[in-house]
């Protein structure tokens, strides 16, 4: 409607990072929203709520920036027994294309009025985590419920217990997403594999648009992803992505030495590493140019050697 367009324009002018589109049914809905957003930087979160959207799932995932599995309205439009399989498919497809995916609606619904969740609700949250979701979301539990702090605490506890389960890591490793054919895809994959091989405490991704950090998050690495960016909007958007700890910096790097030194400094400051730990770093040359991810470096925190023999090389 015309009011929807005005509301979207108003939100974009406020500088929001995300626009959630409800009841999308076809790719044209996203194209229209992109045109209205223009160059104002807001990303599109697609709420999957209609049967028509499920039919166009792959194309809609490709076009959007994030997916929300909005099970409430899906459960009205489709039969309830269909929802678990659709949720699993949406999570897998989102991960395949490196798009953050959120599972929402009635996850701990009983905690609106009760201080503890039901066993079924605990299993529901755990299932979404096991399937590889980036986020699980509370709704009325924290917005209008009687026990909002307890609801957040319980959900956090469930997530932590799942992620400590050896079976969780085995499941994720067995369902790795397909990799693209670009240089950035290849270098990010090499950095991910190297980080595991050298037991790095963090995978560091220099990223302007957020793409490199999203590529790394797609693999669900066992260590945190330190996303370093000069774009505050990118840092805020990356907060939705699996395992990404985004840090906004004021100045770009201009040499390999700065790349390593900045990564080490921030990793220590953010408690993602200490002397003796290793970091796997990926960035792009020329520096400060989006879409150029093409280098990888492994460094040890506290190493007294020069950070790179290419320290003097400028972008």
Burial bucket for residue 267 (CB in 10 Å: 0-12, 13-18, 19+): buried
Cβ(96)–Cβ(215) below 8 Å: no
CATH architecture of 2-174: Alpha-Beta Barrel (3.20)
Could you report the per-residue pLDDT of 124-183, keeping only the tens digit for each?
999 999 999 999 999 999 999 999 999 999 999 999 999 999 999 988 888 777 777 889
Is a pLDDT exceeding 70 seen at residue 63? yes
Task: Decide: 248 and 227 in contact? Cβ < 8 Å.
Answer: no
Question: In the chain, which segments carry CATH 3.40.1380.20?
Answer: 183-300
pLDDT value of position 139: 93
CA distances from 291 to 19, 41, 74 (A): 24, 17, 36
- Domain 183-300 fold is Pyruvate Kinase; Chain: A, domain 1 (3.40.1380)
**Percent over 90 (pLDDT), the chain:** 70
Provide the mean pLDDT of the chain. 90
User: CATH 3.20.20.60: which residues of the chain?
Assistant: 2-174
CB atoms within 10 A of CB 192: 27
pTM: 0.87
pLDDT band at 306 (very low <50, low <70, confident <90, very high): very low
Query: Are 275 and 297 within 8 A, CB to CB?
Result: no
- Check whether 315 has a pLDDT greater than 70: no
Q: What is the pLDDT of residue 252?
A: 86
Angle at 175 (CA atoms; ends 172, 177), nearest 5 degrees: 105
pLDDT band of residue 115 (cuts 50, 70, 90) is very high
């Amino acid at each position: 409607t015309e009011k929807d367009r005005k509301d979207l324009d108003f939100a974009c002018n406020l500088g929001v990072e995300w626009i959630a589109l409800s009841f999308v049914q076809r790719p044209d809905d996203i194209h229209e929203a992109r045109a209205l957003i223009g160059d104002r930087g807001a990303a599109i979160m697609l709420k999957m709520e209609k049967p028509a959207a499920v039919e166009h799932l792959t194309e809609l995932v490709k076009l959007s920036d994030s997916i929300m599995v909005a099970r409430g309205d899906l459960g009205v439009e489709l039969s309830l027994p269909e929802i678990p399989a659709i949720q699993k498919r949406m999570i897998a497809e989102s991960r395949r294309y490196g798009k953050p995916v959120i599972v929402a609606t009635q996850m701990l619904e009983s905690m609106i009025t009760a201080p503890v969740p039901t066993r079924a609700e605990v299993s529901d949250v755990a299932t979404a985590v096991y399937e590889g979701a980036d986020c699980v979301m509370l709704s009325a539990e924290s917005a209008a419920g009687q026990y909002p702090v307890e609801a957040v605490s319980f959900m956090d506890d469930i997530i932590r217990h799942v992620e400590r389960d050896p079976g969780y890591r085995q499941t994720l490793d067995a369902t790795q997403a397909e990799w693209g054919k670009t240089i950035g895809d290849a270098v990010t994959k090499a950095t991910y594999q190297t980080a595991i091989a050298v037991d790095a405490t963090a995978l560091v991704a220099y990223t302007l648009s957020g793409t490199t950090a999203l590529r790394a998050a797609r693999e669900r690495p066992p260590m945190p992803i330190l996303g370093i960016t000069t774009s505050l909007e990118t840092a805020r958007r990356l907060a939705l992505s699996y395992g990404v700890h985004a840090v906004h910096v004021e100045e770009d790097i201009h040499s390999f030495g700065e790349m390593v030194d900045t990564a080490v400094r921030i990793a220590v400051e953010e408690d993602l590493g200490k002397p003796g730990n290793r970091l796997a770093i990926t960035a792009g040359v020329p520096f400060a140019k989006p879409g150029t991810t093409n280098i990888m470096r492994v460094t040890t925190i506290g190493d007294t050697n020069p950070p790179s023999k290419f320290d003097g090389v400028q972008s």
